[in-house]
Homo-oligomer: A and B are copies of this chain.
């Protein structure tokens, strides 16, 4: 973060026609985004693009989700047809939707809006062995870096994370446990909404994965390959790619958060580019945003994924920056300041 640009943003905020600090967390955000861009005001983060990384999970065979695995591919088709919640929210806030097949089990037909970047037909079952080979993890991560780079090259000034993958909250819980050191029961949630018995089983599945892999957070790529998903790898790369381009990356929920932990372990400064779009209903997500040191912008018990929570936060991020571009100073507007002295 560029300290000079941040100081300039703080000074500008203090001269705008509003009580100092009255925009709360959005003032802090505007200062950080100035630091990220290295200039004040930073560019308004638009146009914006959400990339939905889709992949399947071998751990699905352990019965961690009531949804059949083919729903991943079916939802990809739904995204491409414009029929999912992510499409409705993207339309509402004016963001472009890109879907990336980074590891869906089924072979998908070519379609406009779908980037075919399949690294594998889903991961292996993380309770029985590594979910990915190191090579697969590396390739999926590179895919994410490239998608971020290409979206920025196409003119986007804000990236949003999206994800789709039945059973991906199980892999997310394993990653979060590995990086935070918290026990599986603290970080494993109900995902799409599972019953008590399935939830207890899911916790034991996460515990079994950790017992098998003994992940060392000092070796983040190995942690990722052992217990992560292909979309987690791609999302970690997406965060790194956005940060390298100094473009804000609005994180969605627990899957993006788990991936951001990987990115942060590889490159702590990547978190400078991250904005926590929301706090989801998943218990692992609250501890993840805390670990990342981020403040979620929206907190409405969403637990959908797809990028929906990030999209709802987008107008808040854009509004926070727009203030620095458009709001008049006390001097320019002829508004008296607190002391009662008209400075115009």
Cβ contacts under 8 Å, A155 to chain B = none
Segment of A69-77, A117-125, A267-275, A286-294 in the binding face: A69-77
Is A68 among interface residues, defined by CB-CB distance under 8 A? yes
Per the bound structure, the CA–CA distance linking A335 and B77 in Å amounts to 9
Is A24 among interface residues, defined by CB-CB distance under 8 A? yes
Is A18 among interface residues, defined by CB-CB distance under 8 A? yes
> B17–A83 contact, CB under 8 A?
yes
> A336–B85 contact, CB under 8 A?
no
> A301–B25 contact, CB under 8 A?
yes
Segment of A142-150, A172-180, A318-326 in the binding face: A318-326
Residue A24 contacts which of B84, B300, B335 (CB distance < 8 angstroms)? B300
The chain B residue with its CB closest to the CB of A338 is B66
With A74-B336, A77-B334, A318-B92 known as contacts, the answer to whether A85 contacts B304 (CB < 8 A) is no
Is A4 among interface residues, defined by CB-CB distance under 8 A? no
Is A78 among interface residues, defined by CB-CB distance under 8 A? yes
With A91-B322, A328-B83 known as contacts, the answer to whether A335 contacts B74 (CB < 8 A) is yes
With A21-B193, A22-B193, A78-B328 known as contacts, the answer to whether A68 contacts B340 (CB < 8 A) is yes
Per the bound structure, the CA–CA distance linking A315 and B93 in Å amounts to 7
Interface set of A (CB-CB < 8 Å, partner B): 16-26, 66-68, 70-71, 74-75, 77-78, 81-85, 87-89, 91-93, 191-193, 281, 297-304, 308, 311-312, 314-316, 318-319, 322-323, 325-328, 332-336, 338-340
Cβ contacts under 8 Å, A82 to chain B = 326
The chain B residue with its CB closest to the CB of A66 is B338
Per the bound structure, the CA–CA distance linking A85 and B30 in Å amounts to 13
- Min Cβ gap A229→B in Å is 18
- Min Cβ gap A316→B in Å is 6
Cβ contacts under 8 Å, A193 to chain B = 19-22
> B315–A92 contact, CB under 8 A?
yes
With A298-B316, A319-B89, A340-B67 known as contacts, the answer to whether A81 contacts B333 (CB < 8 A) is yes
With A92-B319, A315-B92, A340-B67 known as contacts, the answer to whether A333 contacts B77 (CB < 8 A) is yes
> A304–B17 contact, CB under 8 A?
no
Cβ contacts under 8 Å, A89 to chain B = 319, 322-323
- Min Cβ gap A307→B in Å is 12
Q: Which 6 A-B pairs have the closest CB atoms?
A: A83-B328, A24-B301, A19-B192, A22-B304, A25-B300, A68-B340
Cβ contacts under 8 Å, A85 to chain B = 16-18, 23, 323, 327
> A88–B17 contact, CB under 8 A?
no
